[in-house]
């Protein structure tokens, strides 16, 4: 008789703590995909049953809860993690027990675990396009502000490398704040920015503190017309938190923006809103969290098993019609072919897309070919 038991999967996204706003949206993307799959017959008739724990934004708890999912709940597949420090905390556990993690977040690259499918952007799919765009339009003197952990350190290293390729390129400063930094904690930095007058700011601030930085920036009289903040981590969720007026004119790079004007994205958003309402600011982390569950379900329909060794051959090379466009898991490095885009925050708290790739760009997590010119070959300038 066919197996009709539910397929239990683990979910590790925080609903409390410093990273909760963005991870709640990733949780919603995950639950949305699970609902869609279950409503259309599950995986060969088997429902997906999510087991979600709240790791409270703490890397140590991600590690503990990943092991609990594996050992106590007998889970083979986990969806989760925003911050790189939490992914790094989980890796030894999933590698030790040979389980699979789907990671739906942009990150700093320079990693390739056989136990992970990476569905967020690698640096050649967001840092390189952003550097190219900012230097072409504003100049090459950059002031870096980031949260104090691995993703900002590494992402700033990459941005420095890109900026210094340009004549006149200069890292004006590199400053870090605590993950729970308040508006007052940015006062000195903002005063220094005013004094140094860089061409643009590169923000690797993440999570709920992002709104504090942008507010402190606006309150000091600095504005996006003269000195925009460029970021990979300030997306629609963060704009909603800071208010559209505060974010307006600042620039982000991501493979997905809510404002993508395509039938696939419009249909997906409308279906999501019908089920979950309009409270969640859909963003690139949400979209990757959504489509990676479909990648998993499609792979398991073929393998009939959620054991990593049986799933993986059906995941590597798999293509999927995602809201951003047709994506593909690169079989050589477990990352995903995605569509780099540049957006400028507008008065509605959305991004006006000003550049987008005409075809999916292969992930290059080790930046083997990271000359600035590579990306523009795939570019379509929208305005």
Which residues sit at the interface with ligand ACM, rule CB under 6 A? Answer: 83-84, 105-107, 151, 206, 233
Nearer to ligand ACM, 118 or 296 (CB): 118
Let me know: does 206 contact 83? Beta carbons within 8 Å: yes
Return the sign of the alpha-carbon dihedral for residues 124, 125, 131, 136: positive
Nearer to ligand ACM, 155 or 356 (CB): 155
Assign 94 to helix, strand or coil: helix
Nearer to ligand ACM, 51 or 150 (CB): 150
Nearer to ligand ACM, 151 or 186 (CB): 151
- 10 Å Cβ neighbour count for 307? 14
- Tell me how far, at minimum, the Cβ of 105 lies from ligand ACM, in Å: 5
- Tell me how far, at minimum, the Cβ of 107 lies from ligand ACM, in Å: 4
Nearer to ligand ACM, 70 or 288 (CB): 288
The contacts found for 304-307 with CB under 8 angstroms, 24 or more apart, are 304/44, 306/7, 306/9, 306/76, 306/77, 306/100, 307/76
CA–CA gap between residue 342 and residue 234 (Å, rounded): 12
381, β-bridge pairs: 355
- Tell me how far, at minimum, the Cβ of 343 lies from ligand ACM, in Å: 17
- Tell me how far, at minimum, the Cβ of 104 lies from ligand ACM, in Å: 10
Nearer to ligand ACM, 126 or 324 (CB): 126
- Tell me how far, at minimum, the Cβ of 6 lies from ligand ACM, in Å: 31
CA quadruple 258, 259, 263, 266: dihedral, nearest 10: 50
- Tell me how far, at minimum, the Cβ of 32 lies from ligand ACM, in Å: 21
Nearer to ligand ACM, 84 or 125 (CB): 84
Let me know: does 240 contact 269? Beta carbons within 8 Å: no
Would you tell me the crossing angle of helices 210-219 and 187-196 to the nearest 10 degrees? 50
Nearer to ligand ACM, 25 or 233 (CB): 233
Residue nearest to ligand ACM (CB): 151
Nearer to ligand ACM, 13 or 151 (CB): 151
Assign 300 to helix, strand or coil: helix
- Residues of 70-96 as b/e, b for ≥16 C-beta within 10 angstroms? beeeebbbbbbbbbbbbbbbbbebbee
- Tell me how far, at minimum, the Cβ of 262 lies from ligand ACM, in Å: 26
CA–CA gap between residue 323 and residue 124 (Å, rounded): 20
252, β-bridge pairs: 231, 343
CA–CA gap between residue 312 and residue 159 (Å, rounded): 33
Which tokens is 242 given? 């800071």
- Residues of 130-149 as b/e, b for ≥16 C-beta within 10 angstroms? bbbbbbeebbbbbbbbbbeb
Nearer to ligand ACM, 199 or 238 (CB): 238
CA–CA gap between residue 15 and residue 55 (Å, rounded): 8
- Tell me how far, at minimum, the Cβ of 233 lies from ligand ACM, in Å: 5
- Tell me how far, at minimum, the Cβ of 333 lies from ligand ACM, in Å: 17
- Tell me how far, at minimum, the Cβ of 176 lies from ligand ACM, in Å: 14
């Amino acid at each position: 008789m066919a197996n009709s038991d539910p397929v239990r999967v683990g979910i590790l996204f925080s609903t409390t703590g410093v990273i909760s706003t963005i991870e709640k949206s990733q949780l919603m993307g995950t639950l949305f995909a699970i609902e869609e799959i279950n409503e259309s017959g599950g995986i060969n008739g088997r429902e997906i049953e999510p087991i979600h724990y709240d790791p409270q934004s703490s890397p140590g708890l991600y590690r503990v809860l990943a092991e609990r999912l594996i050992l106590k709940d007998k889970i083979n597949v986990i969806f989760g993690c925003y911050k790189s420090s939490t992914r790094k905390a989980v890796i030894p556990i999933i590698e030790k027990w040979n389980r699979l993690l789907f990671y739906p977040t942009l990150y700093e690259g320079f990693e390739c675990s056989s136990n992970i499918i990476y569905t967020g952007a690698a640096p050649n799919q967001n840092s390189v396009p952003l550097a190219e765009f900012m230097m072409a339009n504003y100049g090459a003197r950059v002031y870096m502000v980031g949260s104090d952990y691995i993703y900002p350190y590494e992402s700033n290293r990459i941005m420095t490398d890109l900026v210094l390729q340009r004549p006149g390129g200069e890292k004006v400063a590199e400053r870090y704040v605590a993950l729970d930094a308040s508006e007052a904690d940015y006062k000195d930095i903002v005063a220094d920015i005013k004094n140094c007058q860089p061409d643009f700011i590169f923000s690797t601030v993440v999570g709920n503190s992002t709104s504090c930085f942008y507010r402190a920036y606006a309150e000091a009289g600095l504005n996006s017309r003269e000195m925009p903040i460029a970021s990979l981590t300030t997306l629609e969720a963060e704009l909603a938190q800071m208010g559209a007026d505060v974010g307006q004119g600042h620039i982000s790079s991501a493979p997905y923006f809510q404002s993508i004007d395509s039938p696939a994205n419009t249909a997906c958003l409308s279906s999501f809103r019908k089920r979950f309402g309009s409270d969640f600011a859909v963003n690139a982390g949400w979209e990757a969290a959504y489509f990676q569950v479909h990648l998993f379900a499609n792979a398991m329909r073929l393998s009939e098993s959620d054991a990593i060794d049986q799933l993986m051959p059906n995941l590597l090379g798999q293509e999927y019609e995602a809201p951003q466009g047709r994506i593909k898991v690169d079989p050589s490095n477990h990352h995903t072919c995605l569509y780099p885009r540049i957006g400028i925050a507008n008065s509605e708290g959305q991004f006006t897309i000003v550049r987008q790739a005409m075809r999916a760009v292969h992930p290059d997590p080790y930046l083997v070919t990271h000359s600035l010119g590579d990306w523009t070959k795939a570019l379509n300038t929208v305005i």
